[in-house]
Homo-oligomer: A and B are copies of this chain.
Amino acid sequence: MPNYTAPVEDMMFLFEKLRDNKNYNELEKYSEVSSELVKDILEEAAKINQNLILPLAIAGDENPAKLENGVVRTPPGYKEAYNKYIEDGWVSLSCDPKYGGQGMPKTVSAFFDEMLSATCLSFKLYSELTIGAYNCISHHATDEMKEKYLPKMVEGKWSGTMCLTEPVCGTDLGLLKTKAVEQSDGTYKISGQKIFITSGDHDLTENIIHLVIARSSDSPSGTKGISLFLVPKFIVKDDGSIGPRNGVSTGSVESKMGIKGSATCVLNFDDAVGYMIGPKNKGLSQMFTMMNLERILVGIQGLGLSEIAYQNSLSYAKERKQGKTNNTKSTNGADFIIEHADIRRSLLNMKSIVEGERALCFWLSQQTEVSLYHPDEKIKQEASDYVSLMTPVVKSLFTDLAMEITSDAMQIHGGYGFTKDQGIEQLYRDNRITPIYEGTNSVQAADLVFRKLSNKNGNIINNFMEMVKTECASKSEKVQIFSKQLEHYLAILSKFNDWIADKSKEGKDDVSAAANDYLKTLGYISLAFSWIKVLEVSFKEYDSNKDFYEDKINTAKFYFDKILPRSEYHYKSAISGSSNIMNFKFN
């Protein structure tokens, strides 16, 4: 079984030293979230993750969730762990105190999400979708619905799902066939099949609140005719107690490459009672409230799995002896593999990505809170634009790099990385869903280039670049060495932006074919931006904690020397265009 120690020190470094968003710091609602409080939370979070949740990963891999006589059984130990988990209030961490939540900002809850992704992604998914559904209901439903459903969800006694995908529609929801027929009492009867429904059914909670998109009988075809419905597994009576079973049944549980502990279900809705949320035919935009936050969470899943992969690679490299180094002092026998240059390179590759991602994520968490709660509409919109821009980047880049990192971890473990004993190959398999679900990474890239670079408020990518340049400009001489390197790549990004803007007018296929490359270029530069922030603090506060800041500076140096140059390749690859690709005749 892999080991895991929650990176509380690095998280507290970010919380204490990189909470630099003035607008975030102005938010009244978080004025009492002190360092002491956060540290206490993270230490408790570390304990439950390291002790209780980590062993669930292998348990779920060896005993996948399964459908037995119409009931979905979670793996051994999940139920007991889940009860403790909700008893300690972890589901409610970021929820509104009005419904029983603890009201923590994303600057804190994202750290918890990272830990939980590292220790057991399958287990996490049972409550992650609850929070997704919670967010959607609290944004769009009536007060009456909120009061009826949210407290139990926040408590973790009821869970939630997002029911979007159908056999013929994954990416393209306009094709959906699930029908909603209005009844005389204002409720709807929902019928249709939904597939790939995470936590679609299970034995952990008393009830499951499905958020279902469907087409009302009088709605138009395509995406403009989609409405959102709340469909409980068990009807909830007016007094809040559990009533009869609703018309939702589980057709099957998928057999998957990874996250086997998570029940991925085919759900059959057969005249199930549903309650419309928000206005008719606006279901897709309501669902996207949930989807956008969910996509960032998927990026954080990749970060968490990367962290645990790094930790185990590091400890294995310290205890495995093999081969002699160039500067070996041993006259017989081998050196520890951590002394080999190439293994060190691989470890620093992981570390510099993981820590850069965590810092970028922390910056994004601040922006997210500002986008949700700042009183000034203009500031709120600006933050919202940055969140929009970074959502596909974080989702795709973090999950793709997590594939690189979990794969490199297998490589460091050699044959032992490919066998089941040490649990390393499971990290790759569990992560492998993250570039696929919540919109494949290609869909994210298309979303980025066609919808996120600019909007009615202006040129978002230019604002982002200005912000990065400002960050680069105002720094100490020591930071300048790094800023200069970044400026070379910023100039490339600037050319890439112009190219995209130009081609968006009359070479859309060029843009489509370049989308993945563009996302990578912007992503690597965004990580460099977060490293510049870390460097500024590291040089300024160097004397207060030399070992820690020395480590940060050298890790950043690796990132700038060895990884950032990838962004240039992606630019070169992209600008060769798409005419050859589009004209190609596939046999």
A: residues with CB less than 8 A from B are 165, 168-172, 174-175, 195-196, 221-222, 254-258, 264, 314, 317-318, 321-327, 332-334, 338, 340-348, 403, 407, 410-411, 414-415, 417-421, 425, 428-429, 432-433, 435-437, 440-442, 445-446, 508-510, 512-513, 515-516, 547, 550-551, 554-555, 557-558, 561-563, 565-566, 568-569, 572-573, 576-578, 580-587
Contact = CB atoms under 8 A, between A and B. Distances in A.
Contact of A414 (B170, B547, B572, B580): B170
B565 A573 contact: yes
B583 A415 contact: no
Contacts of A558: 580-581, 584
A408 to B, nearest CB: 10
Contacts of A555: 584
Contacts of A437: 415
A175 B326 contact: no
Contact of A551 (B516, B573, B581, B587): B587
A580 B554 contact: yes
A508 B327 CA distance: 9
B578 A414 contact: no
Contacts of A561: 573, 576-577, 580
B257 A551 contact: no
A407 B435 CA distance: 10
Contacts of A566: 569, 573
Nearest to A565: B572
Given A172-B323, A257-B418, A257-B429, 6 more contacts: A175-B321, A175-B322, A255-B420, A344-B586, A345-B578, A415-B437
Contact of A172 (B256, B322, B573): B322
Nearest to A510: B341
A572 B524 CA distance: 15
Nearest to A333: B175
Contact of A420 (B256, B403, B577, B585): B256
A563 B513 CA distance: 14
Contacts of A168: 321
A272 B572 CA distance: 60
A195 to B, nearest CB: 8
A573 B562 contact: yes
A34 B333 CA distance: 52
B415 A170 contact: yes
Contact of A415 (B165, B578, B586): B165
Contacts of A403: 407
B407 A436 contact: no
B322 A258 contact: no
9 contacts: A255-B419, A256-B418, A341-B509, A341-B581, A342-B442, A346-B442, A557-B580, A558-B584, A565-B573
B418 A581 contact: no
A582 B341 contact: yes
Contacts of A222: 332
B169 A322 contact: yes
Contacts of A314: 586
A314 B441 CA distance: 19
Given A257-B418, A561-B580, A565-B569, A411 B435 contact: yes
Most chain B beta-carbon neighbours within 10 Å: one of A175, A323, A343, A551: A323
Contacts of A432: 407, 410, 418, 425, 428
A513 to B, nearest CB: 4
Contacts of A258: 418
A326 B436 contact: no
Given A322-B170, A418-B258, A411 B440 contact: yes
B420 A513 contact: no
A419 B332 contact: no
A341 B558 CA distance: 34
Contacts of A436: 410-411, 414-415, 417-418
B573 A323 contact: no
Contacts of A586: 314, 317-318, 338, 344, 347
